[in-house]
A and B are shown apart, each in its own frame.
Chain A
């Protein structure tokens, strides 16, 4: 069997993998990143929206090479068709061309010194003295033994590496949002605003999105958590009257119930979708994953320098990402759980109330008035406010 030796082997070459390997390489490590697909960036499994914090984390500019549109706000539709408009703030960001963005990120990582292997699948981790010390991978029918002091698993929701190391990264139909998306031509929409549609009939347990990519091209997608129909069937239904035509069909599962319990083991760190590092309320994961993966790359450098890749040392990775994004994820999960309890009718009532309020400064009087009219919301509003 062919043998290789690196400080770190990163499994997966999308946002999590490229970011972790970029910062590990920048900090002087000898890094190999393996990607199972033959082309980095495809197939796309993403609605492609992200915030400016992603670029800040990555120390990259939002270049027109991979940014399609700049987002200034969002239009949100409750089940009864009522419409709320959000301007700026949380709704601001960018729509990426992930195929180009992911590849660019891999290029940046390669420029920093990362070796990359494509069309390479990890088969098994190598265990030595109870610790992960590399992986056995397969490339074009040949097995390769890659010895490494540290493994970073960025291998997505289908992550096997973390499971093989004994970590619980299992999702459930409740925690995993099943998504299908068309990239469509001929979607008449404002290029600077996202659209969200809620309702049991159009997207049970999730929502429909229209994310504009400019020139009336848009990602139109549906996320559901339900056994009443597939994401694809809801997508077909929603797009039937759009008078637009698809040029791409994407699909995938998004973990929307918060991070997994443990994101490290002896010789291993888990990042991105594999670790559930996604905002539960929106399902947005690019900025969270980039943030956590950068920390993983930096902690990897420290661990190798100190010659200590034990779980005791790598705990630092989890401590750091929890400190920096853990609170946001917790808050977002709280909103997700509240949202999950609402019926369409309750969503309509709540949306109507929130629309009449200045969200920055909801007055106590208005809340009291609302709860008097709709006492069923008392507990819920207590949790939100």
Chain B
């Protein structure tokens, strides 16, 4: 799971659905703590598509 800082609008939707509770909004940045299981629920609810599975990065 990878969050694009350029696209992120720091709204917190990803944090609300994270089953592992590993995401944290710190200022204008989402921090990913350890324990992410790549369920990608965060990607589904991100309003701007700032989250991808980290495999399609150029």
Binding site for B on A (CB under 8 A): 36, 43, 45, 121, 156-160, 163, 169-173, 176, 178-180, 227, 230-233, 249-253, 255
CB interface residues, B 1-25, toward A, < 8 Å: 9-13, 15-17, 19, 21, 24-25
Which residue of chain A has its CB nearest to the CB of B48?
Answer: A232
The verdict on B36 contacting chain A, using a C-beta distance below 8 Å, is: no
Task: Given A157-B16, A173-B17, A253-B13, check contact A179 B24 (CB 8 Å).
Answer: no
Interface-central residue, B12, B44, B47, by most chain A CB under 10 Å: B47
- Contact across chains for A160 and B24 when beta carbons are under 8 A apart: yes
A121, A156, A230: the one contacting B49 at CB < 8 Å is A230
- Contact across chains for A230 and B15 when beta carbons are under 8 A apart: no
A172, A179, A231, A251: the one contacting B17 at CB < 8 Å is A172
Which residue of chain A has its CB nearest to the CB of B30?
Answer: A158
- Contact across chains for A170 and B48 when beta carbons are under 8 A apart: no
- Contact across chains for B41 and A157 when beta carbons are under 8 A apart: no
- Contact across chains for B47 and A251 when beta carbons are under 8 A apart: yes
- Contact across chains for A232 and B24 when beta carbons are under 8 A apart: no
- Contact across chains for B9 and A157 when beta carbons are under 8 A apart: no
| 27 cross-chain CB contacts under 8 A | A36-B25, A121-B27, A157-B13, A157-B15, A158-B16, A160-B24, A163-B21, A170-B21, A171-B45, A173-B44, A176-B13, A176-B17, A178-B44, A178-B45, A179-B47, A227-B44, A230-B46, A231-B47, A231-B48, A232-B49, A251-B13, A251-B47, A252-B13, A253-B11, A253-B12, A253-B13, A255-B16
The verdict on B26 contacting chain A, using a C-beta distance below 8 Å, is: yes
Binding site for A on B (CB under 8 A): 9-13, 15-17, 19, 21, 24-27, 41, 44-49
Q: What is the CB-to-nearest-CB distance from B47 to chain A, in angstroms, rounded to a whole number? A: 4
B10, B12, B16: the one contacting A170 at CB < 8 Å is B16
Which residue of chain A has its CB nearest to the CB of B42?
Answer: A173
A163, A171, A227, A230: the one contacting B47 at CB < 8 Å is A230
- Contact across chains for A230 and B24 when beta carbons are under 8 A apart: no
Report the Cα distance A36→B41, complex, angstroms.
25
- Contact across chains for B11 and A252 when beta carbons are under 8 A apart: yes
- Contact across chains for A178 and B9 when beta carbons are under 8 A apart: no
Report the Cα distance A78→B10, complex, angstroms.
32
Contact partners of A232 in chain B: CB under 8 A: 47-49
Q: What is the CB-to-nearest-CB distance from A237 to chain B, in angstroms, rounded to a whole number? A: 13
Contact partners of A121 in chain B: CB under 8 A: 26-27
Report the Cα distance A253→B45, complex, angstroms.
7
- Contact across chains for A178 and B13 when beta carbons are under 8 A apart: yes
Report the Cα distance A173→B11, complex, angstroms.
15
Which residue of chain B has its CB nearest to the CB of A172?
Answer: B17
Q: What is the CB-to-nearest-CB distance from A272 to chain B, in angstroms, rounded to a whole number? A: 13
Report the 7 A-B pairs with minimum CB-CB distance, sorted nearest first.
Answer: A158-B12, A253-B13, A158-B15, A157-B16, A231-B47, A251-B47, A230-B49
- Contact across chains for B48 and A251 when beta carbons are under 8 A apart: yes
Report the Cα distance A179→B11, complex, angstroms.
10
Contact partners of B11 in chain A: CB under 8 A: 45, 251-253
- Contact across chains for B25 and A253 when beta carbons are under 8 A apart: no
Which residue of chain A has its CB nearest to the CB of B12?
Answer: A158
Contact partners of B41 in chain A: CB under 8 A: 172-173
Which residue of chain B has its CB nearest to the CB of A223?
Answer: B47
Task: Given A157-B15, A172-B41, check contact A253 B47 (CB 8 Å).
Answer: yes
Contact partners of B12 in chain A: CB under 8 A: 156-158, 252-253
Report the Cα distance A158→B21, complex, angstroms.
10
Contact partners of B47 in chain A: CB under 8 A: 178-180, 230-232, 251-253
Report the Cα distance A40→B13, complex, angstroms.
20
Contact partners of B25 in chain A: CB under 8 A: 36, 158
Which residue of chain B has its CB nearest to the CB of A157?
Answer: B16
Contact partners of B24 in chain A: CB under 8 A: 160
Q: What is the CB-to-nearest-CB distance from A229 to chain B, in angstroms, rounded to a whole number? A: 8
- Contact across chains for A251 and B15 when beta carbons are under 8 A apart: no
Report the Cα distance A251→B10, complex, angstroms.
9
Contact partners of A179 in chain B: CB under 8 A: 47
Report the Cα distance A108→B8, complex, angstroms.
33
